[in-house]
Amino acid sequence: MLSELKVSPAPHISGPMSTRSVMLDVIIGLSPAMVAAIIFFRVYAVILTAACVISAVLTEYVCNLLLKKENPLESLGDLSAVVTGIILAFSIPPKLPVWAAVIGSVFAIAIGKMVFGGLGANIFNPAMAGRAFLMASFGVLMTTWTVPATIDPAMPQIKTTADYSDIRTQATPLALSKEAVKKGKDTEIVNEQMRALFFGNVGGCIGETSALALLIGGIYLLIRKTINFHTPLAVLLSAFVFALVAYLIEPQANINPVAHLLCGGLLIGAFFIATDPVTAPLSIKGMWLFGIGVGTITMLIRIVGEYPEGVMFSILLMNAVTPLIDRLCKLTPAGGKPNV
Amino acid sequence: MELTAIKGKKTFRGGTHPLEKKALTSECAISAGPAIKQATILLSQHVGAVCEPLVKKADSIEAGQKIGDSDAFVSAPVHSPINGKVKEVSLQPHPVLGRCMGIIIETDTENNPQKYPCSDKFDGNFDQSKYTSEQICDAVRNAGIVGMGGAGFPTRVKIEPNPRLPKHTLIINGCECEPYITCDYRIMLEWTYQVLAGIKLARKACGVERVLIGIEDNKPQAIETMRRAVLDSKNSENIEVVEVKTKYPQGGERQLIESILARNVPTGGIPPMIGLVVLNIATCAAIAEAVVLGRPLTHRTVTVTGEAVSKPGNFYVAVGTTVGELIDFCGGVTQKSAKVLLGGPMMGLAIGDLSTPITKTTGSITILTGEQIGKAKFERRQTACIRCGRCLQACPERLNPTKIAHAVKYNKLELAESYYINACIECGCCSYVCPANIELTGYIKTGKIYLARKKKKMPQ
């Protein structure tokens, strides 16, 4: 019989979603890209992803210990460190030494997230912060691209660095695109690779080469309503429009706009990184502004700037202005502003 | 004659879809509630001034006698549901206020006839024209009728013509969007013509022509019954049944208005500002009873439901019956640990004292199992906000619940106000959808109380 009456504020039931389930969905959404990464980069993909995930989780645990959290294991349960690890691993070159990946992962969690106060309080996407740190520290390693295991001998090989002379490296489609912009010609090299770009049979970061796998994961997230379509659509649309304008102005110097969408980190950025709820705006209007900012800055860097790729910078820059966007996009109540 | 079909699903922006769980009681016809030995009549069962007791200890009372009233405009008198003697006038547990003055009446005779519903007194031929607007308003006031959907705003104040705010449409709220609750649904099915008579009377009192009855599309039988009744009865021109989408909180009056008229009540305002009156189904039934039969509001239909009660059902219960008595009448609680709610699981109040009496606004008692409440509240901890924005999208008032809640949490009331904290209707959608399990609604409610105290609108 009734012996204990519980009380609490309404509502007394709650929806099925939890932070953990959201993160789990992101992990499931990233798994097609993981499969593609294993197909193209074999054991490197597995080793680096495992290294990043394990070091991310361990770093969070150590930070929790240092911060004297009541239960240092609790925050690991939300799986956000795992997601950060996977995304970081997916955005580094396949032949990056494991120690460098671990350093990036430790930085991502310790400085990118825990210093700000843990999940929910970080300003920058932790994985992108880690990648930026790696980029600044190990520039050469971070831009040395291995030929995929499903090797395409027709792909041009442009350089081999001294340290990694035994590895065949190649220019990524974006590096070639940059060359084309500089030279004002040779866009065909990239434009002819559309099929390879779509399936992922090109050089690039571990998880970003296969557009198909990322699209499958992205659509899964959309169907599960883990992310909403506004941010990815805004990113892709604005990038496409920018690339199209550039292409129409100077077709011999700028690659096909569709190729721009497929190559580099644009798709993983649009579906998995720009949609990181913590570092993106709250409102739908804000998400559009954020997405348009990411897409435009990416293309600015790719077409006008010095670097071949700009997804990481554009996301970090937009992360920085997210609080401003939130302030700009203040919602008006359904009944209008109260006249007080 | 053919039934009028209404095209397109009418709905509002935002909201959420909690499990409905209405099947527990939707087929349970309204049956007689417990015969009580003692009634606890609270003197505040409505929005507005608290009533003054009109009786004192040891007075003899007849069923239907007015025992508390107030001179204030926004108030409603209370009546005794039973014959008996006043046992005491003292502080009693109140679901919202904690404690409130109440009158306890004890039956002194064995011969205490039980009151029965009066739906058989009404049919499709009901003619409202023999009553004037004032007569209806006075009868409604004297019967102590208040909004029975939960808020408890005195009905007379709503329906009385006001030259400053002319009304053009009467909206009848038959949505019953809260999970579990089925009392209005049963009233629509069983007391159809009584409800219709009440609608006609309310329309007459308001001086409006057009009536829209909004019913969620998960109640096709109610829609069908009401449409058929409107077609079959006299004087029912311009009464239209509107099918609205099933979504919580469709039954919030602001949301219902947005759904069927695509208009928004101004923030901080009330429906009459845009010429509307919204009445609940049970209120309409009470209006018919009061005006035609002169019977005060002393009984109401209450759904007793939830997974933790033995025999759920819909009962015609005397106001003043204690929650414990009603639960015992339904076979008691099957669980060791449970949560007893006045109302549904989204907005209902969890009570800690089973001697809390049923009031005019208690539409249901929902008893959730320990396991259910554990899942929602006690086993899952509140974690940090991940800023996913789900609460913004679920908010039917288009507010920013996470910002408001966090402003309240850190005691920044001005900031909370700048995010329009007072526009919150406390529907609970934000807390329901929050993946971090944050008590957003709880924080916002707290913030509103703090603000009201700060502005001295509420005692400390």
Within a domain: residue A148?
Answer: no
Spatial distance between the Cα atoms of B218 and B243, rounded to a whole number of angstroms: 9
d(CA B63, CA B80): 5
CA distance A18 to A338: 34
Q: Which of A14, A74, A282 sits opposite B376 (nearest CB)?
A: A14
Q: Give a yes or no: residue A105 inside a domain.
A: yes
Mean of the per-residue pLDDT values of chain B:
90
Q: State the smallest CA–CA distance between residue A180 and chain B in angstroms.
A: 40
Please indicate, yes or no, whether residues A136 and A171 belong to a single structural domain of this protein: no
Percent of chain A with pLDDT over 90: 60
How does DSSP assign B264-325, residue by residue? -PPTT--GGGGTEEEEEHHHHHHHHHHHHH---S-EEEEEEESTTBSS-EEEEEETT-BHHH
Residue B222: band (very low, low, confident or very high) from pLDDT cuts 50, 70, 90: very high
CB neighbourhood size of B31 (10 A): 12
Give me B438's structure tokens: 């944050």
- Domain edges within chain B: 1-33+110-373, 390-454
The per-residue pLDDT for range A227-256, each reduced to its tens digit, is: 999 999 999 999 999 999 999 998 888 888
Q: What is the mean pLDDT of chain A?
A: 89
> Of the given ranges (A54-68, A146-160, B255-269), which has the lowest mean pLDDT?
A146-160
Query: Mutation test of the interface with chain A: which of B377, B386, B400, B448, choosing the one with the most A Cβ atoms within 10 A?
Result: B386
Q: What is the pLDDT of residues B329-343, one digit of tens each?
A: 999 998 888 899 999
Q: pLDDT at residue B378 above 70?
A: no
- Contact flag A336-B267 (C-beta cutoff 8 Å): yes
Cβ separation B372–A277 shorter than 8 A:
no
Res B455: pLDDT: 85
Chain A residues close to B434, C-beta within 8 Å: 14-15
Q: What is the mean pLDDT of residues B379-405?
A: 91
Quote the CA–CA distance of B321 and B303 in Å, as a whole number: 14
pLDDT at A269: 96
Digit-coded pLDDT (tens) for B35-58:
888 999 999 999 889 999 999 988
Any domain includes A80: yes
State how far the alpha carbon of B311 is from the alpha carbons of A251, B206, B333, in Å: 76, 40, 9
A165 and A132 in one domain?
no
Q: Is residue A167 part of a domain?
A: yes
- Our CA-based measurement puts residue A333 at a distance from the nearest CA of chain B, in whole angstroms, of 5
Do residues A196 and A320 share a domain?
Answer: yes
Q: What distance in Å separates the CA atoms of residue B201 and residue A106, rounded to the nearest whole number?
A: 72
Which residues of chain A neighbour B19 with C-beta distances below 8 Å? 13
Is the Cβ pair A334, B337 closer than 8 Å? no
Tell if the CB–CB gap between A338 and B268 is shorter than 8 Å: yes
A96 and A210 belong to one structural domain: no
> Does A262 share its domain with A214?
yes
| pLDDT interval class at A163 (50, 70, 90) | very low
Flag whether pLDDT at B435 surpasses 60: yes
A292 and A210 fall within a common domain: yes
User: Is the Cβ–Cβ distance between B193 and B281 less than 8 Å?
Assistant: no
The answer to whether residue A59 sits within a structural domain is yes
- In this structure, the answer to whether residues A121 and A164 fall within a common structural domain is no
The rounded Cα B419 to chain-centroid distance in angstroms is 28
How many residue pairs from chains A and B have C-beta atoms closer than 8 A?
201
Nearest CA in chain A to B366: A12
**What does the pLDDT average to over B361-376?**
85
Residue A135 maps to a domain: yes
pLDDT of residue B5: 40
d(CA B32, CA B313): 10
Q: What distance in Å separates the CA atoms of residue B355 and residue B309, rounded to the nearest whole number?
A: 17
Using CA atoms, how far apart are residues A11 and A21, in angstroms rounded to an integer?
Answer: 21
Mean pLDDT of B109-127: 83
Residues A171 and A267 in one domain: yes
**Boundaries of domain holding A275:** 158-327
Residue B78: half-sphere exposure toward Cβ, Cα within 13 Å: 32
CB contact under 8 A, A11 and B376: yes
Same-domain status, A321 and A180: yes
Shared domain for A35 and A85, answered yes or no, is yes
- Contacts A21 to B, Cβ<8 Å: 435
8 Å CB contact of A283 and B389? yes
Buried b (16+ CB within 10 A) or exposed e, A235-262: bbbbbbebbbebbeeeeebbbbbbbbbb
3-state class (DSSP) for residue B86: strand
**Gyration radius of chain B's alpha carbons:** 21
The CATH class of the B1-33+110-373 domain is: alpha beta
Element counts in chain A: helices (H) and strands (E)? 13, 1
Note whether A227 contacts B: Cβ–Cβ < 8 A: no
pLDDT at A167: 52
State residue B342 phi and psi, 5-degree precision: -90, 110
Distance from CA of B305 to the nearest CA of A (A): 14
Pairwise CA distance, residues A248 & A259, whole Å: 14
The total of structural domains in chain A comes to: 2
CB contact under 8 A, B426 and A334: no
Tens of pLDDT, residue by residue over B159-207, are 998 889 899 999 999 999 999 999 999 999 999 999 999 999 999 999 9
Query: Strand, helix or coil at B457?
Result: coil
State whether A2 and B332 contact (CB < 8 Å).
yes
pLDDT in tens, A256-285: 899 999 988 999 999 999 999 999 999 999
Residue A90 lies in a domain: yes
Other beta carbons less than 10 A from residue A6's beta carbon: 17
- Check pLDDT > 70 for residue A132: yes
Cβ within 8 Å, pair A282-B403: yes
Q: Which of residues 230-289 of A touch B (CB under 8 A)?
A: 277-284, 287
Chain B partners within 8 Å of A340 (Cβ): 268
Final residue before a domain boundary, out of A141, A168, A188: A141
Q: Is the pLDDT at B150 greater than 50, yes or no? A: yes
Rounded distance, CA A337 to CA A331, Å?
10
User: Within a domain: residue A244?
Assistant: yes
Instruction: Mark whether A188 and A270 lie in a shared domain.
Output: yes
- Cβ pair B386:A10 closer than 8 A: no
The answer to whether B304 and B341 are in contact (CB under 8 A) is: no
Q: Looking at A111, A141, A171, which one is the last position of a domain?
A: A141
Report CB contact under 8 Å: B349, A10.
yes
Listed residues A106, A141, A176: the one ending a domain? A141
Residue A85's SS3 state is helix
